[in-house]
Structure 1
């Protein structure tokens, strides 16, 4: 496995309630995280793949009236281009476990920086168990269908 290139494919940060949110925020917002991993071949029948680590952070805070309001929304798609020279049965676990494991520290830093630069405490993601994520995606049909990677 060779990591050829890594890059930010998409980055979005919005504070829908600005500037009022900064004057009414009394506590650290509650952050809901969503994470997904996608992989696709870059050439038909080849061994070069794009792996995308997709992260979305939705921060909710209590407003002055006690109602929940959106503090910020951050979305990041961080990608890597990987060359795999392995047996076919190893392609899926490499693409959906090992490749995102290599990309994760960089995506984590970008998310922390953008939330901090946006005026909020940095979002520091805990380590992700990509093996468990991969296994949960495979579900009951595990072993029957290869992922279109």
Structure 2
């Protein structure tokens, strides 16, 4: 007779819990849009170039509750003329359970922004369109690569601080 997979485990044994993540809330935390060229009456010649910077931040807000903020800064320039500036801090609150402490930091800064990114993209598209420009549709962001780049940058900074040539035993 086959064993029942739903049977309770024997006393003293524990089965690992499956990781769980729930989006509790998401919202625009801070938003700034400046139509610089129009305010200064500057002429826009040529196709503006966009510079997009993305940063992430995570904060604990309660037991198993975390706020993850995607910070996007967009600067549009045509030659030396700044066309517009956009800064968006978009936050999500997430209830995260059964994630080992060693994996929590990457989970918060990779998986959580993936969940909110479509809304970040929509807000930026709407704001640029409402600001008098064609909607800016951001390309997908590889949050894993972004996390790895930030980790490498931090490690290099630590080595530069402690890399004065002295060896310790």
TM-score interval for Structure 1 and Structure 2 normalised by the shorter chain: 0.7 to 0.9
Equivalent residue pairs, number: 133
Task: Tell me if the contact between 2:44 and 2:81 (Cα under 8 Å) persists in the aligned partners.
Answer: no
Mapping 1:1-149, distance limit 5 Å: 1-19=21-39, 20-21=41-42, 24-43=43-62, 46-62=63-79, 68-85=80-97, 86-139=99-152, 141=155
Q: What RMSD, in angstroms, separates the aligned Cα atoms of the two structures? A: 1.6
1:3-49 CA distances to partner (integer Å, 9 max, x unpaired)? 1000000010001231524xx22433111110011001013xx2111
- Structure 2: segments with no counterpart, 5+ residues: 1-20, 157-169
Aligned counterparts of 1:17 and 1:126: Cα–Cα separation in 2? 24
Q: Give how far 1:127 is off.
A: 0.4
Q: Give how far 1:50 is off.
A: 0.4
Aligned counterparts of 2:46 and 2:119: Cα–Cα separation in 1? 28
Aligned counterparts of 1:117 and 1:17: Cα–Cα separation in 2? 15
Aligned counterparts of 1:124 and 1:28: Cα–Cα separation in 2? 16
Q: TM-score, normalised by structure 2?
A: 0.74
Q: Which has the larger radius of gyration?
A: 2
Task: Tell me if the contact between 1:28 and 1:121 (Cα under 8 Å) persists in the aligned partners.
Answer: no
Q: Which structure's relative contact order is higher, taking Cα pairs within 8 Å and 6+ residues apart?
A: 1
Moved over 6 A (4+): none
What SS does the corresponding residue of 1:128 show, helix, strand or coil? coil
- Structure 1: segments with no counterpart, 5+ residues: 63-67, 143-149
